[in-house]
Amino acid sequence: MSAFSIEEVRKIAKLASLALTPEEEQEFARQFGTILDYFERLNAVELPENAEAADPVLAPRVREDRAVASPVTPEQFSPYLENRFFKVPRVIDA
C-alpha cells in the first residue's frame, strides 16, 4: 500500500477548509493510499506503442443539418419592420 502521511491529509483538509478528527485523518490517509495503489497498478499496465485512448469528448455527435422554415414571421416579432430590418430608437447621436 502506498504511504500517505497524516501531514499530507492535514494539508489537503486545510486547502479544502475541512476540519477532520484524528480518526478521520487516519481513515483518509488509508483511503488515499488505496487510491494511489490503484493508480500504480494502472501505470504498470503494458500498452502497445500505438495505443490511443478513446476521448468521449472528441467523439462526433452529429446530426443531419436541415434548413426548415421558421413558423414565426418577422412581422410577428415587431410591428416596426422596414425592408426586413427591425426599426429601433436611435441610441447614439451621430
Q: What is the pLDDT of residues 49-58, one digit of tens each?
A: 777 776 667 6
Considering the domain 6-43, what is its CATH architecture? Orthogonal Bundle (1.10)
Please tell me which residue, 4 or 21, carries the higher pLDDT value: 21
pLDDT in tens, 58-77: 667 788 889 988 888 777 87
CA distances from 94 to 8, 36, 88, 89 (A): 64, 66, 15, 13
H or E element, residue 31: helix 22-43
What mean pLDDT, rounded, does the chain reach?
Answer: 85
pLDDT for res 94: 67
The 3-state DSSP class for residue 81 equals strand
The full set of domain ranges for the chain reads 6-43
The burial class, CB within 10 Å (0-12 / 13-18 / 19+), for 33 is: middle
pLDDT in tens, 77-89: 777 888 878 888 8
Question: For residue 27, is pLDDT > 90?
Answer: yes
Helix axis angle, 6-15 to 22-43, nearest 10°: 100
| Average pLDDT of span 27-34 | 94
